Amino acid sequence: MTQHWSAPSASGPVHSTVPVPGSKSITNRVLVLAALADGPSTVHAPLRSRDTVLMAAALSSLGVNFADREDGGWDVVPGLLRGPADVDCGLAGTVMRFLPPAAALAEGEIRFDGDPHARLRPMATVLGALRSLGADIDGDALPFTLHGTGSLPGGEVTIDASGSSQFVSGLLLSAARYDKGVTVRHDGKPVPSLPHIDMTVQTLRSVGVRVETDANVWHVEPGTIAARTWHVEPDLSNATVFLAAAAVTGGEVTIPHWPAETTQPGDSVRGILERMGCTVSVSERGLTVQGPAKLSGLDIDLRDESELTPTVAALAALAEGQTIIRGVAHIRGHETDRIAALVNEINALGGNASETEDGLIINPVPLHGGVWKAYADHRMATAGAIIGLLVPGVEVDDIGSTTKTIPDFPGMWNAMLGGGA
Protein backbone atom coordinates (compact mmCIF):
# COMPACT_ATOMS: atom_id res chain seq x y z
CA MET A 1 0.00 0.00 0.00
CA THR A 2 1.37 3.41 -0.97
CA GLN A 3 1.12 6.25 1.52
CA HIS A 4 0.82 9.85 0.30
CA TRP A 5 2.65 12.38 2.43
CA SER A 6 2.74 16.16 2.35
CA ALA A 7 6.41 17.03 2.69
CA PRO A 8 6.71 19.67 5.44
CA SER A 9 8.41 22.96 4.57
CA ALA A 10 11.03 24.38 6.90
CA SER A 11 9.96 27.56 8.70
CA GLY A 12 13.62 28.59 9.01
CA PRO A 13 17.08 27.11 9.37
CA VAL A 14 16.91 23.56 10.74
CA HIS A 15 18.81 22.98 14.00
CA SER A 16 18.74 19.44 15.34
CA THR A 17 20.63 16.37 16.49
CA VAL A 18 19.40 13.27 14.67
CA PRO A 19 20.39 9.78 15.88
CA VAL A 20 20.39 7.47 12.85
CA PRO A 21 19.69 3.69 12.99
CA GLY A 22 22.29 1.12 11.98
CA SER A 23 23.66 0.56 8.50
CA LYS A 24 21.55 -1.63 6.22
CA SER A 25 24.60 -2.67 4.21
CA ILE A 26 26.54 -3.75 7.27
CA THR A 27 23.53 -5.36 8.98
CA ASN A 28 22.71 -7.64 6.06
CA ARG A 29 26.34 -8.66 5.58
CA VAL A 30 26.62 -9.44 9.28
CA LEU A 31 23.42 -11.50 9.28
CA VAL A 32 24.67 -13.72 6.45
CA LEU A 33 28.01 -14.29 8.18
CA ALA A 34 26.37 -14.94 11.55
CA ALA A 35 24.11 -17.51 9.89
CA LEU A 36 27.13 -19.34 8.44
CA ALA A 37 29.40 -19.01 11.50
CA ASP A 38 30.82 -21.81 13.62
CA GLY A 39 28.76 -20.80 16.67
CA PRO A 40 26.26 -18.27 18.08
CA SER A 41 26.75 -14.55 17.36
CA THR A 42 25.22 -11.41 18.85
CA VAL A 43 24.34 -8.37 16.73
CA HIS A 44 24.00 -5.05 18.56
CA ALA A 45 22.37 -1.94 17.05
CA PRO A 46 21.33 -3.54 13.75
CA LEU A 47 19.01 -1.70 11.41
CA ARG A 48 15.45 -2.96 11.83
CA SER A 49 13.86 -2.10 8.50
CA ARG A 50 12.07 -3.92 5.72
CA ASP A 51 15.29 -5.03 3.99
CA THR A 52 16.94 -6.39 7.14
CA VAL A 53 13.79 -8.01 8.47
CA LEU A 54 13.40 -9.75 5.10
CA MET A 55 16.98 -10.99 5.39
CA ALA A 56 16.41 -12.33 8.90
CA ALA A 57 13.15 -13.97 7.82
CA ALA A 58 14.82 -15.58 4.81
CA LEU A 59 17.64 -17.02 6.91
CA SER A 60 15.13 -18.20 9.51
CA SER A 61 13.23 -20.08 6.80
CA LEU A 62 16.48 -21.94 6.03
CA GLY A 63 16.94 -23.06 9.65
CA VAL A 64 18.85 -20.21 11.33
CA ASN A 65 17.53 -19.19 14.77
CA PHE A 66 17.03 -15.48 15.51
CA ALA A 67 16.19 -14.37 19.05
CA ASP A 68 15.22 -10.75 19.72
CA ARG A 69 17.24 -8.92 22.35
CA GLU A 70 15.83 -6.30 24.70
CA ASP A 71 18.28 -3.75 23.26
CA GLY A 72 16.85 -4.23 19.76
CA GLY A 73 19.57 -6.57 18.59
CA TRP A 74 19.58 -10.22 17.65
CA ASP A 75 21.15 -13.38 19.00
CA VAL A 76 21.85 -15.58 15.98
CA VAL A 77 22.34 -19.34 16.24
CA PRO A 78 23.33 -21.12 13.00
CA GLY A 79 21.46 -24.27 12.02
CA LEU A 80 21.64 -26.93 9.35
CA LEU A 81 20.49 -25.06 6.25
CA ARG A 82 17.66 -26.83 4.50
CA GLY A 83 14.54 -26.40 2.39
CA PRO A 84 11.90 -26.43 1.26
CA ALA A 85 11.63 -22.68 1.79
CA ASP A 86 10.16 -19.60 0.15
CA VAL A 87 12.28 -16.45 0.26
CA ASP A 88 10.63 -13.04 -0.13
CA CYS A 89 13.30 -10.64 -1.39
CA GLY A 90 10.97 -7.64 -1.39
CA LEU A 91 12.87 -5.01 -3.38
CA ALA A 92 16.13 -5.62 -1.49
CA GLY A 93 19.20 -6.04 -3.66
CA THR A 94 21.15 -7.39 -0.69
CA VAL A 95 18.60 -10.15 -0.14
CA MET A 96 18.24 -11.18 -3.77
CA ARG A 97 22.04 -11.11 -4.38
CA PHE A 98 23.45 -12.22 -0.98
CA LEU A 99 20.98 -15.00 -0.10
CA PRO A 100 21.26 -17.31 -3.15
CA PRO A 101 25.01 -17.98 -2.58
CA ALA A 102 24.24 -18.85 1.05
CA ALA A 103 21.16 -20.89 0.11
CA ALA A 104 23.34 -22.91 -2.29
CA LEU A 105 24.75 -24.52 0.89
CA ALA A 106 21.29 -25.73 1.92
CA GLU A 107 19.73 -29.06 1.16
CA GLY A 108 16.38 -28.93 -0.61
CA GLU A 109 14.36 -26.63 -2.81
CA ILE A 110 14.55 -22.86 -2.15
CA ARG A 111 12.15 -20.62 -4.08
CA PHE A 112 12.95 -16.90 -4.46
CA ASP A 113 10.58 -14.09 -5.43
CA GLY A 114 9.97 -10.46 -4.53
CA ASP A 115 8.09 -7.28 -5.34
CA PRO A 116 6.95 -6.75 -8.95
CA HIS A 117 9.81 -4.36 -9.75
CA ALA A 118 12.31 -6.76 -8.18
CA ARG A 119 11.60 -9.11 -11.09
CA LEU A 120 13.17 -6.46 -13.36
CA ARG A 121 16.39 -6.08 -11.39
CA PRO A 122 19.51 -7.73 -12.89
CA MET A 123 20.15 -11.21 -11.44
CA ALA A 124 21.58 -13.25 -14.32
CA THR A 125 25.18 -12.40 -13.37
CA VAL A 126 25.07 -13.84 -9.86
CA LEU A 127 22.85 -16.80 -10.80
CA GLY A 128 25.06 -17.67 -13.77
CA ALA A 129 28.12 -17.47 -11.52
CA LEU A 130 26.53 -19.83 -9.00
CA ARG A 131 25.80 -22.34 -11.76
CA SER A 132 29.46 -22.18 -12.80
CA LEU A 133 30.40 -22.92 -9.19
CA GLY A 134 28.16 -25.99 -9.07
CA ALA A 135 24.67 -24.79 -8.14
CA ASP A 136 21.46 -26.07 -9.73
CA ILE A 137 19.15 -23.09 -10.39
CA ASP A 138 16.06 -22.70 -12.56
CA GLY A 139 15.72 -19.18 -13.98
CA ASP A 140 17.84 -16.07 -14.53
CA ALA A 141 15.71 -13.52 -12.66
CA LEU A 142 13.11 -13.45 -9.94
CA PRO A 143 11.22 -15.71 -9.49
CA PHE A 144 13.75 -18.56 -9.56
CA THR A 145 14.29 -21.86 -7.74
CA LEU A 146 17.52 -23.21 -6.28
CA HIS A 147 17.88 -26.97 -5.80
CA GLY A 148 20.38 -27.40 -2.98
CA THR A 149 22.47 -30.47 -2.19
CA GLY A 150 23.95 -29.28 1.10
CA SER A 151 27.28 -28.11 -0.29
CA LEU A 152 28.86 -26.32 -3.25
CA PRO A 153 32.17 -27.11 -4.98
CA GLY A 154 33.13 -23.47 -5.58
CA GLY A 155 36.22 -22.57 -7.61
CA GLU A 156 36.94 -19.82 -10.13
CA VAL A 157 34.38 -17.71 -11.97
CA THR A 158 34.59 -14.71 -14.30
CA ILE A 159 31.72 -12.21 -14.27
CA ASP A 160 30.84 -8.74 -15.50
CA ALA A 161 30.09 -6.86 -12.28
CA SER A 162 29.70 -3.44 -13.91
CA GLY A 163 25.97 -3.59 -13.18
CA SER A 164 26.35 -3.91 -9.39
CA SER A 165 29.06 -4.42 -6.79
CA GLN A 166 26.54 -6.69 -5.03
CA PHE A 167 27.32 -9.42 -7.58
CA VAL A 168 30.86 -9.63 -6.18
CA SER A 169 29.90 -9.17 -2.52
CA GLY A 170 27.20 -11.83 -2.69
CA LEU A 171 29.65 -14.44 -4.00
CA LEU A 172 32.37 -13.53 -1.49
CA LEU A 173 30.20 -13.61 1.65
CA SER A 174 29.47 -17.35 1.54
CA ALA A 175 32.62 -18.44 -0.29
CA ALA A 176 34.56 -19.66 2.76
CA ARG A 177 31.94 -22.40 3.20
CA TYR A 178 32.40 -23.71 -0.36
CA ASP A 179 34.63 -26.75 -0.81
CA LYS A 180 37.28 -24.87 -2.80
CA GLY A 181 36.43 -21.33 -1.77
CA VAL A 182 35.93 -18.85 -4.59
CA THR A 183 38.00 -16.73 -6.94
CA VAL A 184 35.94 -14.00 -8.62
CA ARG A 185 37.37 -12.21 -11.66
CA HIS A 186 35.68 -9.14 -13.06
CA ASP A 187 35.78 -8.65 -16.84
CA GLY A 188 33.96 -5.58 -18.06
CA LYS A 189 33.51 -1.87 -17.45
CA PRO A 190 34.67 -0.52 -14.05
CA VAL A 191 32.84 -1.96 -11.04
CA PRO A 192 30.62 0.65 -9.38
CA SER A 193 30.44 1.24 -5.63
CA LEU A 194 33.82 -0.34 -4.89
CA PRO A 195 33.64 0.79 -1.24
CA HIS A 196 30.83 -1.73 -0.76
CA ILE A 197 33.18 -4.53 -1.86
CA ASP A 198 35.80 -3.15 0.53
CA MET A 199 33.13 -3.34 3.24
CA THR A 200 32.52 -7.00 2.38
CA VAL A 201 36.23 -7.84 2.45
CA GLN A 202 36.76 -6.06 5.78
CA THR A 203 33.74 -7.78 7.31
CA LEU A 204 34.97 -11.20 6.14
CA ARG A 205 38.44 -10.61 7.54
CA SER A 206 36.97 -9.62 10.89
CA VAL A 207 35.62 -13.18 11.27
CA GLY A 208 38.86 -14.90 10.31
CA VAL A 209 38.15 -15.48 6.63
CA ARG A 210 41.24 -15.25 4.41
CA VAL A 211 40.60 -12.88 1.51
CA GLU A 212 43.12 -11.80 -1.11
CA THR A 213 42.41 -8.94 -3.49
CA ASP A 214 44.02 -7.67 -6.66
CA ALA A 215 42.83 -5.44 -9.47
CA ASN A 216 39.44 -6.90 -10.43
CA VAL A 217 40.18 -10.22 -8.68
CA TRP A 218 38.97 -11.41 -5.27
CA HIS A 219 39.93 -14.76 -3.73
CA VAL A 220 38.38 -16.31 -0.61
CA GLU A 221 40.03 -19.35 0.97
CA PRO A 222 37.78 -22.19 2.21
CA GLY A 223 37.50 -22.37 5.99
CA THR A 224 35.33 -21.57 8.99
CA ILE A 225 33.56 -18.31 9.73
CA ALA A 226 34.10 -17.28 13.34
CA ALA A 227 31.20 -16.36 15.59
CA ARG A 228 31.52 -12.94 17.21
CA THR A 229 29.72 -9.99 18.76
CA TRP A 230 28.89 -7.25 16.29
CA HIS A 231 28.22 -3.54 16.83
CA VAL A 232 26.66 -2.03 13.70
CA GLU A 233 27.61 1.51 12.67
CA PRO A 234 24.92 4.13 11.96
CA ASP A 235 23.76 4.12 8.32
CA LEU A 236 25.71 7.01 6.82
CA SER A 237 23.79 7.02 3.54
CA ASN A 238 20.55 7.48 5.45
CA ALA A 239 22.23 10.16 7.55
CA THR A 240 23.00 12.21 4.45
CA VAL A 241 19.30 12.98 3.99
CA PHE A 242 19.14 14.70 7.39
CA LEU A 243 22.43 16.51 6.80
CA ALA A 244 20.90 17.76 3.55
CA ALA A 245 18.24 19.54 5.61
CA ALA A 246 20.94 21.68 7.21
CA ALA A 247 22.55 22.27 3.82
CA VAL A 248 19.44 23.61 2.07
CA THR A 249 18.06 25.67 4.98
CA GLY A 250 21.31 27.21 6.19
CA GLY A 251 20.89 25.36 9.49
CA GLU A 252 22.94 22.92 11.54
CA VAL A 253 22.38 19.17 11.94
CA THR A 254 24.51 16.76 13.96
CA ILE A 255 24.59 12.97 13.49
CA PRO A 256 25.89 11.29 16.68
CA HIS A 257 28.34 8.36 16.67
CA TRP A 258 29.78 9.09 13.23
CA PRO A 259 32.56 6.50 12.87
CA ALA A 260 36.16 7.70 12.79
CA GLU A 261 36.96 5.06 10.16
CA THR A 262 34.46 3.32 7.92
CA THR A 263 34.01 1.60 4.57
CA GLN A 264 30.52 3.06 4.14
CA PRO A 265 30.31 5.13 0.93
CA GLY A 266 28.02 7.57 2.74
CA ASP A 267 31.07 8.97 4.54
CA SER A 268 31.98 10.80 1.31
CA VAL A 269 29.05 13.17 1.90
CA ARG A 270 31.44 15.25 3.98
CA GLY A 271 33.51 16.28 0.97
CA ILE A 272 30.46 16.65 -1.25
CA LEU A 273 28.75 19.08 1.13
CA GLU A 274 31.95 21.06 1.61
CA ARG A 275 32.23 21.45 -2.18
CA MET A 276 28.67 22.78 -2.21
CA GLY A 277 29.52 25.42 0.40
CA CYS A 278 28.74 23.75 3.73
CA THR A 279 30.93 23.72 6.82
CA VAL A 280 31.56 20.18 8.08
CA SER A 281 33.12 19.30 11.42
CA VAL A 282 33.61 16.19 13.56
CA SER A 283 33.66 16.32 17.36
CA GLU A 284 32.72 14.14 20.31
CA ARG A 285 29.11 15.08 19.53
CA GLY A 286 29.33 13.48 16.11
CA LEU A 287 29.42 14.90 12.58
CA THR A 288 27.93 18.39 12.20
CA VAL A 289 26.97 20.17 8.98
CA GLN A 290 26.29 23.90 8.82
CA GLY A 291 24.56 25.06 5.68
CA PRO A 292 25.58 28.17 3.70
CA ALA A 293 23.37 31.09 2.69
CA LYS A 294 23.12 29.40 -0.70
CA LEU A 295 24.40 26.06 -1.99
CA SER A 296 26.66 25.89 -5.04
CA GLY A 297 26.33 23.41 -7.86
CA LEU A 298 29.19 21.06 -8.71
CA ASP A 299 30.54 18.63 -11.29
CA ILE A 300 31.01 15.26 -9.59
CA ASP A 301 31.62 11.60 -10.35
CA LEU A 302 29.57 9.45 -7.95
CA ARG A 303 30.53 6.01 -9.26
CA ASP A 304 31.79 4.84 -5.87
CA GLU A 305 28.99 6.44 -3.84
CA SER A 306 26.14 6.24 -6.35
CA GLU A 307 23.53 5.64 -3.63
CA LEU A 308 23.93 9.33 -2.77
CA THR A 309 22.78 10.41 -6.25
CA PRO A 310 19.13 11.17 -5.29
CA THR A 311 20.25 13.27 -2.31
CA VAL A 312 22.84 15.18 -4.35
CA ALA A 313 20.31 15.72 -7.15
CA ALA A 314 17.80 17.16 -4.67
CA LEU A 315 20.46 19.50 -3.29
CA ALA A 316 21.42 20.50 -6.81
CA ALA A 317 17.84 21.39 -7.70
CA LEU A 318 17.89 23.91 -4.83
CA ALA A 319 21.41 25.24 -5.40
CA GLU A 320 22.91 28.04 -7.49
CA GLY A 321 24.71 27.02 -10.64
CA GLN A 322 24.70 23.92 -12.79
CA THR A 323 25.35 20.46 -11.36
CA ILE A 324 26.63 17.56 -13.45
CA ILE A 325 26.50 14.07 -11.92
CA ARG A 326 28.63 11.49 -13.71
CA GLY A 327 29.57 7.81 -13.42
CA VAL A 328 26.20 6.44 -12.28
CA ALA A 329 24.81 4.66 -15.34
CA HIS A 330 24.37 1.51 -13.21
CA ILE A 331 21.70 3.15 -11.02
CA ARG A 332 19.25 2.64 -13.88
CA GLY A 333 19.07 -0.93 -12.52
CA HIS A 334 18.41 -0.02 -8.88
CA GLU A 335 14.97 -0.02 -7.24
CA THR A 336 13.93 2.02 -10.27
CA ASP A 337 15.78 3.75 -13.10
CA ARG A 338 16.96 6.48 -10.76
CA ILE A 339 18.38 8.70 -13.47
CA ALA A 340 15.14 8.83 -15.43
CA ALA A 341 13.07 9.10 -12.25
CA LEU A 342 15.05 12.06 -10.89
CA VAL A 343 14.87 13.92 -14.20
CA ASN A 344 11.13 13.26 -14.50
CA GLU A 345 10.31 14.40 -10.98
CA ILE A 346 12.53 17.48 -10.90
CA ASN A 347 11.04 18.60 -14.23
CA ALA A 348 7.50 17.83 -13.02
CA LEU A 349 8.03 20.50 -10.35
CA GLY A 350 9.13 23.03 -12.98
CA GLY A 351 12.83 22.17 -12.88
CA ASN A 352 15.41 21.86 -15.63
CA ALA A 353 17.09 18.46 -15.55
CA SER A 354 18.25 16.21 -18.35
CA GLU A 355 19.68 12.71 -18.69
CA THR A 356 23.15 11.86 -19.93
CA GLU A 357 24.56 8.45 -20.77
CA ASP A 358 26.01 8.01 -17.28
CA GLY A 359 24.19 10.57 -15.14
CA LEU A 360 22.24 13.80 -15.24
CA ILE A 361 22.58 17.58 -15.57
CA ILE A 362 20.59 19.92 -13.33
CA ASN A 363 20.22 23.64 -14.01
CA PRO A 364 18.45 25.18 -11.02
CA VAL A 365 15.29 27.19 -11.69
CA PRO A 366 12.44 28.11 -9.31
CA LEU A 367 10.35 25.04 -8.45
CA HIS A 368 6.68 24.72 -7.60
CA GLY A 369 4.67 22.23 -5.59
CA GLY A 370 3.16 19.05 -6.92
CA VAL A 371 3.27 15.28 -6.61
CA TRP A 372 6.75 13.78 -6.35
CA LYS A 373 6.67 10.14 -7.43
CA ALA A 374 8.78 7.73 -5.38
CA TYR A 375 8.61 4.74 -7.77
CA ALA A 376 8.59 2.45 -4.69
CA ASP A 377 12.19 3.66 -4.15
CA HIS A 378 13.19 4.81 -0.67
CA ARG A 379 15.88 7.20 -1.88
CA MET A 380 13.55 8.81 -4.40
CA ALA A 381 11.06 9.38 -1.58
CA THR A 382 13.63 11.06 0.67
CA ALA A 383 14.84 13.24 -2.23
CA GLY A 384 11.29 14.59 -2.49
CA ALA A 385 11.31 15.34 1.23
CA ILE A 386 14.50 17.41 0.84
CA ILE A 387 13.01 19.49 -1.97
CA GLY A 388 9.83 19.95 0.05
CA LEU A 389 11.80 21.80 2.74
CA LEU A 390 12.07 24.85 0.46
CA VAL A 391 9.24 24.23 -2.01
CA PRO A 392 5.75 24.37 -0.47
CA GLY A 393 3.16 21.89 -1.67
CA VAL A 394 5.38 18.92 -2.50
CA GLU A 395 3.56 15.63 -1.94
CA VAL A 396 5.49 12.36 -1.97
CA ASP A 397 3.21 9.67 -3.37
CA ASP A 398 4.74 6.73 -1.46
CA ILE A 399 6.55 7.73 1.72
CA GLY A 400 5.99 4.17 2.95
CA SER A 401 8.80 3.07 0.63
CA THR A 402 11.26 4.58 3.11
CA THR A 403 10.65 1.67 5.52
CA LYS A 404 13.09 -0.24 3.30
CA THR A 405 15.95 1.35 5.25
CA ILE A 406 14.42 3.82 7.75
CA PRO A 407 11.70 2.37 10.00
CA ASP A 408 9.96 5.74 10.69
CA PHE A 409 11.24 8.37 8.30
CA PRO A 410 8.24 10.74 8.64
CA GLY A 411 8.54 10.67 12.43
CA MET A 412 12.30 11.33 12.32
CA TRP A 413 11.84 14.10 9.73
CA ASN A 414 9.16 15.86 11.77
CA ALA A 415 11.21 15.52 14.96
CA MET A 416 14.18 17.09 13.20
CA LEU A 417 12.09 20.04 11.99
CA GLY A 418 10.79 20.51 15.51
CA GLY A 419 14.33 20.67 16.85
CA GLY A 420 13.98 17.31 18.61
CA ALA A 421 17.13 15.54 19.71
| CA–CA dist 153, 70 (Å, integer) | 40
Pairing state of beta strands 65-68 and 353-356?
unpaired
Pairing state of beta strands 323-326 and 299-301?
parallel
326 among annotated binding-site residues: no
93 among annotated binding-site residues: yes
| CA–CA dist 100, 123 (Å, integer) | 10
Pairing state of beta strands 229-231 and 41-44?
parallel
Which neighbouring-strand residues pair with 208?
none
* Relative orientation angle of helices 124-132 and 166-173, to the nearest 10 degrees: 30
78, 103 contact by CB (below 8 A): no
**What percent of the chain is helix, strand and coil (3-state, nearest 5)?**
35, 25, 40
303 among annotated binding-site residues: no
To the nearest 10°, report the CA torsion of 201, 205, 210, 211.
10
283 among annotated binding-site residues: no
307 among annotated binding-site residues: yes
DSSP, res 311: H
The DSSP secondary structure of 110-161, one letter per residue, reads EEEE--GGGGGS--HHHHHHHHHTT-EEE-SSSSEEEEEES----EEEEE--
25 among annotated binding-site residues: yes
164 among annotated binding-site residues: yes
| CA–CA dist 11, 321 (Å, integer) | 24
396 HSE (CA, 13 A, CB side): 28
166 among annotated binding-site residues: yes
189 among annotated binding-site residues: no
Which neighbouring-strand residues pair with 324?
299, 361
Instruction: Give yes or no: 307 in active site.
Output: yes
61 among annotated binding-site residues: no
Distance from CA of residue 155 to its chain's centroid? 28
DSSP, res 296: B
199, 26 contact by CB (below 8 A): yes
243 HSE (CA, 13 A, CB side): 32
Indicate which residue of 252, 305, 307, 345 is catalytic.
307
Helix (H, G, I), strand (E, B) or coil at 84: coil
DSSP, res 23: P
Residues placed in the known binding site for phosphoenolpyruvate: 24, 93, 121, 166, 338, 379, 404
Which residues make up each annotated binding site? 24-25, 29, 93, 121, 164-166, 193, 307, 334, 338, 379, 404
Q: Which residues are catalytic?
A: 307
